[in-house]
Amino acid sequence: MRIKDFAVEQWMNTWETRCRFNVAETCCDSLSIDDLFELGGASASEFLGELAGRRLTYGHIEGSPEFLSGVCSLYRTVGPEHVVPTHGAAGANMLVLSTLCGPGDHVVAVMPTYQQLYSIPEMCGAEVSALHLDPADRYHVDVDRLMALCRPDTSVICINNPNNPTGALLSTEELESIVEVARSVGAWLVCDEVYRPLNAAGEYQESVADLYGRAVCTSSMSKAWSLAGIRLGWVVCKDDDLRRRLLSHRDYDLISCSMLDEAVGAFALAHKDALIERSRRIVRDNRAVLMDWVAGEEHLSVVEPEGGTTALVYYDYPMDSYEFCTRLVQEEGALVTPGDCFEEPRSMRIGYAYSADPSGLREGLEAVSRFCRTVEGELQAGVRA
User: How many residues are listed for the chain in this entry?
Assistant: 385
CB 24 within 8 A of CB 12: yes
Beta bridge partners of 236: 83, 217
- Say how far residue 136 (Cα) sits from the centre of its chain: 22
Whole-model pTM: value is 0.96
Peptide bond before residue 80 is cis, with ω within 30 degrees of 0: no
| 337-338/347-351 β-pairing | antiparallel
CB 182 within 8 A of CB 214: yes
Residue 242 to residues 95, 187, 188, 330: CA-CA distances in angstroms? 11, 13, 10, 47
CB 309 within 8 A of CB 226: no
Domains of the chain in start order, with CATH, are: 7-32+273-377 (3.90.1150.10), 55-271 (3.40.640.10)
Across 205-226, b (16+ Cβ under 10 Å) vs e yields: bbbbbbbbebbbbbbbbbbbbb
- Report the alpha-carbon distance of residue 310 to residue 109 in Å, rounded: 19
- Provide φ and ψ at 190, rounded to 5°: -95, 125
Task: Specify the pLDDT at position 227.
Answer: 98
| 245 three-state secondary structure | helix
- Give helix then strand counts, H and E, for the chain: 13, 13
H or E segment to which residue 54 belongs: none
- Helical H runs in 73-215? 88-100, 116-123, 143-149, 172-185
Number of neighbours of residue 57 by Cβ within 10 angstroms: 8
Task: Specify the pLDDT at position 1.
Answer: 77
Intervals of the chain under pLDDT 50? 384-385
Residue 67 contacts by C-beta under 8 Å, 6 or more apart in sequence?
A: 85, 232, 262, 263, 265, 266, 269
| 215-220/233-237 β-pairing | antiparallel
Best CA proximity match to 234, nearest among 5, 119, 78: 78
Residue 84 to residues 2, 93, 188, 228: CA-CA distances in angstroms? 26, 12, 17, 18
Residue 183 contacts by C-beta under 8 Å, 6 or more apart in sequence?
A: 212, 214
CB 178 within 8 A of CB 143: yes
CB 306 within 8 A of CB 169: yes
Q: Which pLDDT tens digit goes with each residue over 188-214?
A: 999 999 999 999 888 899 999 999 999
Beta strands in 1-118 (DSSP E): 21-22, 83-86, 106-111
Amino acid found at 315: Y
| 310-315/347-351 β-pairing | antiparallel
Task: Specify the pLDDT at position 201.
Answer: 87
Q: What is the dihedral of CA 179, 158, 23, 39, to 10 degrees?
A: 60
CB 181 within 8 A of CB 217: no
Residue 295 burial (CB < 10 Å; 0-12/13-18/19+)?
exposed
- Report the alpha-carbon distance of residue 66 to residue 270 in Å, rounded: 9
